[in-house]
Structure 1
Amino acid sequence: MDRQQISRLAHADHPIAAPLDDGSVHRLLTRAVPGDGAHVLDLGCGGGEWLLRALRAYPGLTAEGVDTSGSALDRARAQATRLAVGDRLTLHHRDAARFTAAHRFDLVLCVGSTHAFGGLSATLAAARAHLAPQGRVLVGDGYWERPPSSEAVDMLGDLADLPTTLDRVVADGWTPVGGHISTRQELDDYEWSWTGALADWALRHPDDPDRAQVLETAGAHRESWLRGYRDTLGFLCLVLRPTHA
């Protein structure tokens, strides 16, 4: 079983692949979507959950998603059909960092996928290239709540603390107009989707040939979370507008 399949199992009950509960997602979309006729792009959309929620909330909205996982895009397409929003959703099977479009977007999202661009600053530069005048960006990324261990840095990369992260965003020419810092409950619930949910699946499928692999993945993730970064990692979502149009 490849990582994409394991991720799908882990997120079966947590379709937003980030430490955010449903209320936080709703508030962020309400703040970020500029109007019912907006055209929205999600870079690294996975199963398209952000776009599907936006399409259901705004009947005049159109959306496009980009991801390298064909199976995730297939799930997004099928769910869009079930929700009767498929005629307003376009999906692209390609690398988000190399995606180009003939038009600009009123909102560009990238939540939990900044690694595809090499970090937060590079993600914002890519989003700016897709952004219409007066458009907005909704981005989500990790930060260090307190100094990390070397093992945590090896696992999660060279993040900054919260003040430094915001300083860098502003220095890159963006003005935060909204945001959300994930609560400890949101962070833990997300991690349990990787640990508890995977272990539960494995125990409910004792004869599945992938059972041992899924259990091993759950255990490794639990070890990394509890002994590697639980007490040091935070998650921040920002709604941004360019400081200078």
Structure 2
Amino acid sequence: MVKILLVDDHAVVRTGLKMLLDGKEQMEVVGEAADGDEAIEAAAALRPDVVLMDLNMPQGKDGLTATAELKKLLPDVAVLILTMHDDDEYLFRAIHAGASGYVLKSAPHDELVTAIQTVAEGNAYLYPTATKKLMAEYVDKLKRGDAPTAYETLSEREKEILALIAKGYSNKEIAEQLIISVKTVESHKSNVMDKLGLKTRPDLVKYALKKGLLHFDE
């Protein structure tokens, strides 16, 4: 069951989303918030799998600020931005803040459901034209010679897990140390290996050694 927190300053929007999502199998709206401050408080109390976050909320923190703070507080909670803004600046700022996905309010209901399922599984979701925009920016960076390295594409949590794996910790030990589920560790590990183009644990250790990540506290 995917637990969802709805964040939007319009009560009628939250009501409509709740009716839509509660009617889907394996989805449950566990809470609502009208601004970023309420969202952070509710997420800390409810520990949802996905926070469906509006960008523009006139009271309290806006969606981008709330997303950045939420990801620091609860790095394993996926934030999916739901907005009316089909705008490059908002898109890039949302991704930089730590959002796992970006969907337009004008999108079909099926697309929203797919997006929620996608980010709940630990993957990223962008609507089609947003993907084209990101690819265009990446190609432009390649031409300028300043495209990010594979390591720079890892999230802070993925870098943390990479270092722990390289130090010899098992998935269970990592889960206990970071207070997350073994399934979440496995998902992050899979993402790390995909991003770095690695196949085995020994490959991860060799990579971490080359990057100077093996620091042991004595």
The interval holding the TM-score normalised by the smaller chain is 0.3 to 0.5
- TM-score, normalised with respect to structure 1: 0.34
- TM-score, normalised with respect to structure 2: 0.38
- Structure 1 or 2: more helix by fraction: 2
- The answer to which structure, 1 or 2, has the higher relative contact order (CA under 8 A, 6+ apart) is 1
